[in-house]
Structure 1
Amino acid sequence: MRLRFIGPALAGVLGLSAFVWNADSAPENSHAETYQQLDLFAEILARVQTEYVTGVDEAEVMEASIDGMLTSLDPHSSYLNPEEYRSMQVQASGEYGGLGIEITQQDGFILVVSPMDDTPASRAGIQPGDYISAINGEPIVGQPMNDSLKEMRGAPGTDILLTILRENEEPFDVSLTREIIKQNSVSFHTEDTIGYIRISSFNEQTTDGVNDALTALKKELGTKMSGLILDLRNNPGGLLNQAVGVSSAFLDGGEVVSTRGRHPNDVQRYNARQGERVEGLPIIVLINGGSASAAEIVAGALQDHNRATILGEISFGKGSVQSVIPLGPQRGAIRLTTSRYYTPSNASIQGAGIEPDIEVAQTRLSDEEMEHIEKRQKRYSEANLRNALENDQGRERRPPHIPNDQPPVGYSGEDYQLERALTKLRSMDFASDLSQKG
């Protein structure tokens, strides 16, 4: 069984017999070159075993070699040893132990894609775009991401110290206490006659959570419901089938996303089920630089079908699909990028991201931040990750810039983007424009 993931990367001895080669399907020269490289690898391993200054754990060395091969392909491919594979399966179910943080690796540092709602990471104030440079005082720069994930996970109730690097601030330490992460990915409330649904990630519970939220909102507001806000900000993604399921709640059929692999006939199309839950209701989707993958699929589908207006900032731009491929008992699995995904209008957002219809900044940038806007914004982009896949359509991310709509000087509110969305939904002109688009 293969799990299809579209979120950021999560955080055994493989003998030469595991390298299966079909000589009939490969040119002879390529076949010979491959075995020369395998001979080179075996020679280097033998040198390490006999001549390195200290003894080495051969299993760990081999595991690191396998992971290095996979991580050289793109930022999201990796090897999962048996322990990591079991942990990944638990995380996909929506409940696991740790800090509640989605990470990837950039230039040797651990980059925070997004903290999850109501977890130790979010409560400690960790933000998308932060870098983690040390754990419990020990530098982790250049360390494999899976090793950093192991260190961050642990028994509930135990403490951990993270050193954070943040733009325009001195490095600082954050102390967190690990806990069981019960990833309730959906929350909701009402704003007068407007419904609000927040999706923090896409796990196995998300589609049911969204449908339950819609049922509760319709019961509370009834025919008075005048609009809906779907908040996908800082949502790092997750399971592909859940992105399709959530989109089905807001579309009456039609394509949600397609995926295309290495070969021309390796195409899969995923359609929304008929039976939209809020037909004709104006919808605004909130996104930002922490909205990635499955979140981008939902935003892109609703945007392409003219079913919602997208408000906020350009999304992260992760347009690839990872398959988790089990390798057998006690051998773990590989997490391998196997395809790209495309929105219903046939647009690949890999590296480019989803452009909002209405661009609104959440915070007002200082003069110093404005001078370094390019350096600041590259932390929120798939395109800036090492070995990131290129956009096969040649689409490029919009250059760093300052949105025209940002909080006024002295703004003291809590959520400027949400306030702007509410103002738009309460506008009769906005509702009229939506009806014309549909």
Structure 2
Amino acid sequence: MTFRNALLFGAAFLSGIMAAPGVVSTVGATGVLIPVAHAEAAPSTPAQDSGNHAETYRLLTLFGSIFDLVRANYVEPVSDRELITNALNGMLSGLDPHSSYMTEKQYADMQVQTSGKFGGLGLEVQGEDGHVRVVSPIDGTPAWKAGIKPGDYIVAIDGHNIDGSPLNDAVEKMRGKPDTKITLTIIRAKTTKPIIVTLTREIIRIEAVKAELYDKTGYIRIPQFTEDTAEELRKAYAELKRKAGGKLTGGLVLDLRNDPGGLLTQAIDVSSFFIPSGEIVSTRARHPKDSQRWDAKGTDATDGLPIVVLINGGSASASEIVSGALQDHHRAVLIGTKSFGKGSVQTIMPIPGNGAVRLTTARYYTPSGRSIQGLGIAPDIVVKESREDPVFSIREADLSHILKNQGGNQTKPPARNDLPALSASIPHEPPANWPTFDITKPATDFQLQEGLRLVRSMAGVPAPDPVASLPPAPTTTPAKNEASH
């Protein structure tokens, strides 16, 4: 496996705090969390081949023999707990990229993260084969302010090389007290020299939502689905209406780009905020009695307001549930690029005194019955962020031993015959003279600007073309052919 195409989904950490993919961040990776009772209380059904007790005992004896060999002969002493923890991680992570074992400390860190407040840099990273890859910086955090991007590789911390080190070691080095400095050395695609950035650690408080008013058009960004997301959405929407004089006459843009997911309950509540009736999402587990379906709660808080949703390759899990539900119900138009493609559900099973197991227990399906596992949500209108190939290119389908896409009645979204006329003329990428994208400057965000244009058209208000206001593109004069004939 080469450095550039290493799939870094062995484990995921946020600013040095464990947040494995498929729970509350993924990630890229990404995820859904369903709290359950302690593991010993969970129903258990023997596997189909577990009746062969002699074979089971033989394999357990093999495990014990290898355990003794490693403990006695490894190049340096290693504790029994470390060996067992590694074995548990191997057993679970070998099933799929989103199952794993969490130590007591990692489980506590994960619980802190779901509350939306924790310490560190605001940087989600993942590791495999000794490489540390950035999944996404969290909006407004030191990592975000420093310009660290999805796809960056961290190769040194405070001048000390970490490439080839275990991810845990790298994460421990990134942890520290608030207001202390840390220097990261980064390798970025298409950049010839390493990038060195110095950050100041701080307590990270994940903003549940961000909201802006562009004339009479509302904009709401959900960076992750934490415990307060749905409530913060309600507050943000009410405040936007107040600022707009009582009504968002220009519609609403919902930004789910680079949202790695989070809590299933919050994804359902956010969807129900916009969808008046019908299914939001369903899950199908190994045992039919554990399968579930969630429906909308009977009201559309926006009263049919036109909505455009922005998605990209970093939109995973919970954000895919929301965008899939809005797309299937024809409640919103999706623009951007294809989402991550995580269609599985993880259950957290606490083991008192010994952490917890995060286990994939179900697949989820959009209201039309499709599974997006490994496929992602395809936008109704493709709009790229820039003319270059996207940096965030690793998706669920690129991971090793992923779950198969099965059980759905279709793989494509229902046909749309309700797209506005303007949708046919929206360009799929910025023009050559579009300004360089700067995350702190909305006017340079091509996907956002086209989203605003589209939703205003849907709302029946003037929708100026953002490209029309650009200065003329520079013209190039062909080189004079000076060769003699």
Which TM-score band applies after superposition, normalised by the shorter structure?
Answer: 0.7 to 0.9
Q: Which residue of 1 aligns with 2:456?
A: 426
Question: d(CA) in 1 for partners of 2:45 and 2:96?
Answer: 27
TM-score between both structures, scaled by the size of structure 1: 0.84
Following superposition, the deviation at residue 174 of structure 1 comes to 3.0
Find the counterpart in structure 2 of residue 281 from structure 1: 305
Residue 251 (1) aligns with residue 269 (2): no
Contact 2:306 2:459 in 1 (8 A): no
Secondary structure at 1:238's aligned position in 2? strand
Is 1:382 the equivalent of 2:396?
Answer: yes
Q: Are positions 1:57 and 2:87 aligned together? A: no
SS at match of 1:426: helix
Tell me which of 179, 187, 199 is aligned to 1:176. Answer: 199
Give the root-mean-square deviation of aligned CA atoms: 3.0
Q: 1:400 aligns to what? A: none
Aligned to 1:81: 103
Question: Contact 2:277–2:296 (CA<8 Å) still a contact in 1?
Answer: yes
**Bigger Rg over Cα:** 2
Distance across 1 between alignment mates of 2:86 and 2:71: 15
Q: Which runs of 5+ in 2 are unaligned?
A: 1-21, 31-39, 413-425, 436-442, 462-485
Deviation at 1:88, TM superposition (A): 0.7
Distance 1:65 1:224 in 2: 55
Aligned to 2:354: 331
Q: CA deviation at 1:354?
A: 0.6
1:305 aligns with 2:335: no
2:343 and 2:354 mapped to 1: Cα distance? 29
Post-superposition CA distance 1:13-43 (Å, at most 9, x none): xxxxx9x9x9987657632222222111111
Distance of aligned partners of 1:133 and 1:34 in 2 relative to their CA distance in 1, 3 Å threshold: farther
Q: State how far apart, in whole Å, the 2-side matches of 1:204 and 1:84 are.
A: 19
Select the residue among 129, 138, 152 that pairs with 2:161.
138
Q: TM-score, normalised by structure 2?
A: 0.77
SS at 1:427's partner residue?
Answer: helix
How far apart, CA to CA, are the structure 1 residues paired with 2:63 and 2:236? Answer: 55
Q: Which amino acid aligns with 1:227?
A: G
* Distance change in 2, residues 1:260/1:96 (3 Å): same
Distance (Å, rounded) in 2 between the aligned partners of 1:201 and 1:358 = 23
Change (3 A) 1:23 1:31: farther
Equivalent residue for 2:185?
A: 163
Pick from 324, 344, 347 the counterpart of residue 367 of structure 2. Answer: 344
Contact 1:74 1:386 in 2 (8 A): yes
Confirm or deny that 1:8 pairs with 2:31.
Answer: no
Q: Which amino acid aligns with 1:421?
A: G
Secondary structure at the aligned position of 1:212 is classed as helix
Query: Cα distance, 1:175 vs. partner?
Result: 2.8
Aligned-partner SS, 1:349: coil
Q: Deviations over 1:32-90 (max 9, x none)?
A: 22222211111112122223332222222221221122111222111111111111111
Change (3 A) 1:250 1:396: closer
Query: What's the CA shift for 1:356?
Result: 0.5
Structure 1 residue 362: Cα displacement: 1.0
The residue aligned with 1:66 is 88
1:266-310 CA distances to partner (integer Å, 9 max, x unpaired)?
311112212211112100001111111111111000000000000
Q: How much does 1:107 deviate? A: 5.8
Q: Is the 8 A contact 1:155 1:179 kept in 2?
A: yes
Report the Cα distance in structure 2 between the residues aligned to 1:206 and 1:57, rounded to whole angstroms.
Answer: 41
CA distance in 2, matches of 1:110, 1:268: 37
Q: Could you tell me how far 1:167 is from its partner in structure 2? A: 1.9
Higher helix content, 1 or 2: 1
State the distance in 1 between where 2:233 and 2:208 align. 9
Using a 3 Å threshold, how does the CA distance of structure 1 residues 177 and 396 change in structure 2: closer, same or farther? Answer: farther
Distance in 1 of aligned mates of 2:460 and 2:385: 21
State the secondary structure of the residue aligned to 2:362: strand
| Distance of 1:297 and 1:81 partners within structure 2 | 29
C-alpha distance 346-26 of structure 1, shift in aligned 2 (>3 A): closer
| Greater mean alpha carbon deviation, residues 64-73 or residues 152-161 | 152-161
Equivalent position SS for 1:223: coil
Alpha-carbon contact 2:370-2:411 (below 8 Å) kept = no
Are the structure 2 counterparts of residues 81 and 322 from structure 1 closer, same or farther at C-alpha, using a change threshold of 3 Å? same
Instruction: Write the distance in 2 (CA, Å) between the matches of 1:265 and 1:48.
Output: 42
Match of 1:195 in 2: 218
The amino acid that maps onto 2:370 is A
Deviates more, 1:228-237 or 1:34-43: 34-43
* Residue type of the alignment partner of 1:414: T
Q: Is the 8 A contact 1:94 1:184 kept in 2?
A: yes
Match of 1:320 among 341, 344, 360: 344
1:47 corresponding residue in structure 2: 69
Q: Could you tell me which amino acid in structure 1 is paired with residue 337 of structure 2? A: E
Alpha-carbon spacing, 1:428–1:241, altered in 2? closer, same or farther (3 Å): closer
In the alignment, structure 1 residue 414 sits paired with structure 2 residue 436: no
* 1:337-373: CA deviation from partner (whole Å, max 9, x where unpaired): 11111111111111111110111011112xxx5xxx8
SS of corresponding position for 1:121: helix
Contact 2:249 2:459 in 1 (8 A): no
Shift of the 102–25 alpha-carbon distance from structure 1 to 2, 3 Å rule, reads closer
Residues 236, 291 of structure 1: 8 Å contact kept: yes
Question: In structure 2, what is the equivalent of residue 434 of structure 1?
Answer: none
**Structure 1 residues 360, 55: closer, same or farther in 2, change over 3 A?**
same
Q: Which runs of 5+ in 1 are unaligned?
A: 12-17, 398-402, 432-438
Partners of 2:155 and 2:401 lie apart in 1 by 20
Higher alpha-carbon deviation: 26-35 or 309-318: 26-35
**Counterpart Cα distance in 2 of 1:269 and 1:92:** 23
Structure 1 residues 388 and 428 mapped into 2: Cα distance closer, same or farther (>3 Å)? closer
Q: Distance in 2 between matches of 1:304 and 1:195?
A: 22
- Provide the C-alpha distance between the structure 1 equivalents of 2:201 and 2:379, rounded to a whole number of angstroms: 36
